[in-house]
Amino acid sequence: MRLSRRHPRYASLKVRGRLADAARSGLVVPEGLIAAGRGEAFDYLLGERTTPSARRAERAAAEWLLAARRPVVSVNGNVAALAAGSVARLARAVPGLAVEVNLFHRTPARARLVAAALRQAGVPTVLGVQPTARIPGLPSDRARVDRDGIAVADVCVVPLEDGDRTEALRALGKRVISIDLNPLSRTSRAADLPIVDDLVRALDGIAREVRRLRRRRARPRLRPFDAARTLSAAGREVARTLRRAAARPGPP
C-alpha cells in the first residue's frame, strides 16, 4: 500500500508496514506485532515524544555505556526490524559496544535473519547467532547468550525485553538499561536504568549523548540513577494526557 506523507498518522503507519513486512519474512514473530501494539498505545499516552525525564535517562545511559568495561546491546526481531540503523549508529559511537542477537522465540533461521539485518545496517560483528553460554535461572532458549557478549557484560542495554530476563541479568550483578514505552512493565520496574521512550528515539538519543560526552572529553562514571523517579515521571505524563482528554474530549 502507498502511504501519503500527509496522512496524520504517517509515521505510525510506516512503522506498522515495516513490521508487517518483517513478520512476512520471518524476522518478526506474530507475538512481536502484539508487543508493538502495546508500545504504540503507551507512546500515544506519552505524547509520542521523548519526555524530559526520558531524555535525562538517555543521558545517564550514555554515560554508563562509556564507563562500562564490557557494554552490550541485545537485539530481538522487533529491534532489528525497526531500529537496525540506530543500533549500528550506537555501536559506532560507543567504543567496544557488543551487539548480540537475543530472541524470546529463537530458531536458528530467525537468529540468522536478525544478524543479517544488523550487518546490512552496518554492524560489523554480531554475537549470539550460535549461543555459547547460559544465564542461570531462566528456562529454555531464553537463557541462551554469547560467552563474549551478555555472559561477560557489565552493562546491558535491553530494548523490548521481558521482565524475567531483566531480573535474571540483574541477579548476575549486571547493570540493566531497559528501553520500554510501558512504565508499568516488569522490565521497566526491574531495570537499574529504565528509559521510557520509543526504541528508535531512545537509541538515537543515547548515541547523540555519547557523541556529546566524547566531544567534551568528559570522564564517564557509573553514577547512581533514580529509577523510581523516572518511572513516576512517566506515570505523571500518562496521567496528564488522560486528565487533559477527560477535561476536553475530542482530538488531542
Which residues contact residue 168 at a Cβ distance below 8 angstroms, ignoring those fewer than 6 apart? 135, 136, 137, 138, 143
Closest separation in Å from C-beta 52 to ligand ATP: 18
Of 179, 193, 213, 227, which lies in the binding site for ligand ATP, with binding defined by CB under 6 A? 179
Q: Which stretch binds ligand ATP (CB under 6 A): 19-27, 61-69, 114-122, 173-181?
A: 173-181
Positions 5 through 24 that interact with ligand ATP (CB under 6 A):
none
Site for ligand ATP in 76-135 (CB under 6 A): none
Cβ atoms 88, 122 nearer than 8 A? yes
91 and 49 in contact (C-beta within 8 Å)? no
Q: For ligand ATP, which is the closer residue by CB, 100 or 213? A: 100
Count of alpha carbons within 13 Å of 226, Cβ hemisphere only?
7
Site string for ligand ATP, 145-164 (x = CB under 6 A): ---------------x-xx-
Q: What string marks each residue from 181 to 220 as x (binds ligand ATP by CB under 6 A) or -?
A: xx--xxx----------xx---------------------
Say how many C-beta atoms besides its own lie within 10 A of residue 104's C-beta: 18
Residue type, 164: D
Type of residue found at 97: L
Cβ at position 237, least distance to ligand ATP in Å: 14
Closest approach, Cβ 145 to ligand ATP, in A, equals 17
Q: Which of residues 27-86 bind ligand ATP (CB under 6 A)?
A: 35-36, 38-39, 42
At 222, list the grid cell.
Answer: 557509573
Q: Which is nearer to ligand ATP, 74 or 185 (CB)?
A: 185
- Residue 232: Cβ within 10 Å count: 13
Alpha-carbon distance 102 to 176, whole Å? 15
Give SS3 for 123.
Answer: coil
Q: Residue 121, Cβ neighbours under 10 Å: how many?
A: 16
By CB under 6 A, name the binding residues for ligand ATP: 35-36, 38-39, 42, 160, 162-163, 179-182, 185-187, 198-199
